[in-house]
A and B are shown apart, each in its own frame.
Chain A
Amino acid sequence: MHDKIIAKKDLDSFVRSLAQSRDVFAPVRDKASMGWAQIDSADNLEFDFLNTDFSPKAFFFPQNERLMHFTNSSRDEDGMIMEEEPPRDREQVLLNIRPCDAKAFCVLDLVFCQDENAPDVYWKDKRDKTVLIGLACKAPCPTCFCTSVNCGPHHEEGLDMLLVDLGEDLLARPLTDKGQELAADLQDAPQEAVDQAAGQKKASEEAITSTVDMSKINERPVLEEYEHPYFDRVFEACINCGTCTFYCPTCHCFDIQDETQDEFGHRVRNWDTCMSWLFTHHTSGHNPRGTKKDRVRQRFMHKFKYMPIKLGGAIGCVGCGRCTRKCPVNIDVRTVVNSMNE
């Protein structure tokens, strides 16, 4: 597949053509923060931003999602029988998604679609109907450490197309058939643009100076890592607020609840967090993760030990740094991982 080029001044027609048959979303500025919003032109598109506050995981895994509905009446012949919510009727495009957030979807595919014959249909339906057009990182945040967790500022995994900001123009690299199709009308990029993008990739990678080392975590047996004395210290500052889990692009724990009103009923799923004591609380009163230490340890063990074991080496972290930026008590995931690795 050839790299293509698109002038920023021509982006508007590109976005408008995308939006004809699809819902197009992109990071747009909302006062001091960046958030995802639907767009139908290139008017509000931004190219100088770090990353969105929230990860885009809600596009495939909404914070609240109806899974099924039922008629809440046992007198009704069809009552009390769950029916699936209908699938998505339109394709969507996530434009200018950061490579780390796209990589996170690849990690989550391994979780939600672990069973080929019975995948999480709600996740898969939206994944199948979405095109991801990434925007490579020019100036990474000081909290970024993607390069030490199988990712990077120009990482291509999970994207259909990668855009690299070259100033007046964008280099557009189609990565899949879907991306190829969208780039069909674009001109081939001249060699100097391709070279410029390569130079930018190298510079961005070099700009990421913070790293984590998981070599010892990987080698140690589960129980040895679980009993690491470091866990006696890290939990003390944590207030179990769960902010890290909601901002994290790979945190995917959820609760399922039924809601009824008169004759209508729904089964919904909501984001949940392993930081909550209720998360694992048995009806009997017993709680397998009854202490704050248990819960803090679970989050880090899950991402950096359990997921790699279960998912063929895939780490439950893409190095986006959101948890570190948002933590109210300044727990830095890089310090945690490096300490777990001691």
Chain B
Amino acid sequence: MNNPYLPYPVRIQRVEIATEDKSLRTFDFEFIHPEHAEAFTYLPGQFAELSVPGYGEAPIGIASSPTEGSHLTFTVSKAGVVTSKLHSMEEGEIMGVRGPLGHPYPLGEMEGKNIVILAGGYAVTTLRSTMVWLLHPDNRDKYGEITFVYGARTPGMLLYKDLLEEWDARSDVNTYITIDNEVEGWDKYVGFVPQIADQVSPKPDNAVALVCGPPVMIKFTQPVLDKMGWTGDQIIMSLENRMKCGVGICGRCNVGPYYVCKDGPVFTKAQLDELPKEY
């Protein structure tokens, strides 16, 4: 009988200040016991509780892809008690990871389709996982055209720059990296994600869109997708709500009858249209 509350002990392998304002750090964790690495089987879109004994837990999307090996990567915004503590922690320190939790993106159902990814700000984390997974030689052939639109306020707020360069250079992905306002030396796109999405104008035929970003980005992206004829069941989103247990028991992250932790965090726009907007 597995105890769903018991975190796996992990060691912080690497810490990196991820953005120019220092509000985000990227952590790599290695499992202390190899059998835990084996037990932690996940797919892009899932999350885990980062567990800092004495401080508590915070639910964070998994940014690494299982195709990258047994370590886990998370990019964490410094916001509350747990994440503030986490930002003060260093390589070599011991903490816990509990998961994987929730459902991944429907990668099986997405096979044979064109994929459009629209990401804003640090919500790009699980989409980093998705991109790495999709572009892996074992998986790339199963999907059609891949379009990746990602925006941040400034060049210094963009996450995972090395990977972005790599994807930009590939011929089998259409990459559109954008910042809010013009900056000297910036040679990529300028404008908000919804504007760039409008210019790119991805076709909805045989396609799926993964949309993840701050509420304001979601709000202005939706009309753009509507205009191009996308339907609710083609648009896949990922929700966040306050969580504790992560396994559908403690009662706080529900949106209607569904728990974001257990039934989500991935929902289609069509599903969400039939539920209260309690997120």
User: Which A residues have a C-beta under 8 Å from some C-beta of B?
Assistant: 67-68, 70, 72, 74, 79-82, 84, 111-112, 114-115, 117-122, 124, 221-223, 226, 252-258, 260, 265, 267, 269, 272, 274, 279-284, 288-289, 294, 298, 301-302, 305-307, 309-310
Residue B249 at the chain A interface, CB threshold 8 Å:
yes
Shortest C-beta distance, B85 to chain A (Å), equals: 10
CB distance from B72 to the nearest CB of A (A): 17
**Separation in Å of the A116 CB from the closest CB of chain B?**
9
Q: How far is the CB of A138 from chain B (nearest CB, A)?
A: 35
Residues of A near B94 (CB, < 8 A) are 74, 79-81
| A119 and B93 within 8 A (CB) | no
Beyond A221-B274, A284-B79, 7 additional pairs, beta carbon < 8 A: A68-B6, A81-B9, A223-B274, A252-B249, A258-B55, A280-B242, A306-B257
Q: Is the CB of B245 within 8 A of A254?
A: yes
Inter-chain contact A310/B257, CB cutoff 8 Å: yes
Selected from A74, A226, A254, the residue in CB contact (under 8 A) with B93 is: A74
How many chain B residues have a CB neighbour from A under 8 Å? Answer: 45
Shortest A299–chain B CB gap in Å is 10
Does A254 lie within 8 Å of B244, measured CB to CB?
A: yes
In angstroms, how far is the closest chain B Cβ from the Cβ of A65? Answer: 11
B 1-18 binary contact with A (CB < 8 Å = 1; else 0): 111111101000000000
**Cβ contact within 8 Å between A80 and B95:** yes
**What 1/0 flags go to B232-271 for Cβ under 8 Å of A?**
0000000011101101111111111110000000000000
CB distance from B185 to the nearest CB of A (A): 32
Task: Enumerate chain B interface residues (CB-CB to A < 8 A).
Answer: 1-7, 9, 32, 51, 53-57, 79-80, 83, 93-96, 240-242, 244-245, 247-258, 274-279
Cβ of A72 and Cβ of B54 under 8 Å apart? yes
Q: Which of A67, A79, A281 contacts B242 (CB 8 A)?
A: A281
The residue in chain B whose Cβ has the minimal distance to the Cβ of A223 is: B274
A222 to chain B, nearest CB (A): 5
Q: Is the CB of A111 within 8 A of B254?
A: no
A255 touches B9 (CB 8 A): no
- Which chain B residues border A294 with CB–CB below 8 Å? 278
Q: Collect the chain A residues with CB atoms within 8 Å of residue B248's CB.
A: 111, 114
Given contacts A272-B252, A306-B254, contact A288 B5 (CB under 8 A): no
Bound-state CA distance A257–B245 (Å) is: 11
Nearest Cβ distance between residue B199 and chain A, in whole angstroms? Answer: 30
Q: What are the 5 A-B residue pairs with the smallest beta carbon separation, nearest first?
A: A253-B251, A283-B80, A306-B257, A283-B79, A309-B257
